Amino acid sequence: MKYRVLYFASLRDRAGMDVEQVESFATDARGLYSELRARHGFTMGEERLRVAVNGAFAQWAQTLHEGDEVVFLPPVSGG
Amino acid sequence: MGVFHISAEPIDAAALARSLAHARAGACVTFEGWVRDHNDGRAVHRLDYQAYAPLAQSEGERIIKEAGEKFAIVEACCVHRVGSLAIGDLAVWVGVSSAHRGAAFDACRYIIDEVKLRVPIWKNEHYAGGESGWLHPDNTPVV
């Protein structure tokens, strides 16, 4: 399936891009992150991140669908 | 009641404060978060903020709505900057009006605390010497 993955903060620096079209066999956010972590060498484990799908917070086990926008959110630091 | 914005432009605090005025309001509390020149013992030259805008917007609106449910307030507003900011720039502004001061203080504190914890915005500090680093909500480095 194809997903649109957005990167922010330290993940953006590590991936070297802010958005990526990903073709993957992963069917949930956990599987997709595991694949991308291996590809880009992300050091943060999923316990440090939150997930958003199509602009809303989601669960790691949430089933993904063709064309979903997926974001792995590093610890936030606004303010 | 309630406004939240992510802004790539400088924040006009005076205009925002005027927007809180209401005949029922007898108190107005505002908070300004400024870019300071140091953090965790290091000299800071400037900051960059990134936001995941759609989720930052909806989560910010949710926080303002929660403040309205928890505290007896009249108006509430929060604006957070994104982009490159210099020392002394206004990074985040929160304002609340209410009939009496207690609710305005409490709601203002609630909004800034929750924004820092929950809204997908990231601060990258640029240090003297050219290094930079992303921070956690407690301002410790992301490693």
Contact A77 B33 (CB under 8 A): no
What average pLDDT does the structure give for chain A?
96
Contact A75 B91 (CB under 8 A): no
- Residues of chain A in contact with residue B116, where contact means CB-CB under 8 angstroms, are 76-79
Strand partners, B6: B80
Locus of tokens 């959110």: A73
The correct answer on CATH 3.10.20.30 for the domain covering A2-73 is: yes
Q: For residue range B36-93, list pLDDT tens digits in order.
A: 999 988 999 999 999 999 999 999 999 999 999 999 999 999 999 999 999 999 999 9
Classify residue A67 by its DSSP letter. T
Q: Are B20 and B77 in contact (CB under 8 A)?
A: yes
Contact B121 A56 (CB under 8 A): no
Q: For residue range A53-64, list pLDDT tens digits in order.
A: 999 999 999 999
Ordered by start, the domain boundaries in chain A are 2-73
- pLDDT band at A73; cut points 50, 70, 90: very high
Alpha helices in B24-76 (DSSP H): 53-70
Q: Which of residues 33-72 of A touch B (CB under 8 A)?
A: 43-44, 52, 55-57, 71
- pLDDT band at B133; cut points 50, 70, 90: confident
Q: Are strands A69-73 and A2-6 parallel, antiparallel or unpaired?
A: parallel
pTM: 0.93
Residue B23 C-alpha, separation from nearest chain A C-alpha, in angstroms: 30
Contacts 24+ apart (CB under 8 A), A41-46: A41/A14, A42/A11, A42/A14, A42/A15, A43/A14, A43/B143, A44/A10, A44/A11, A44/A74, A44/B142
Structure ipTM: 0.94
Q: What is the pLDDT of residue B109?
A: 98
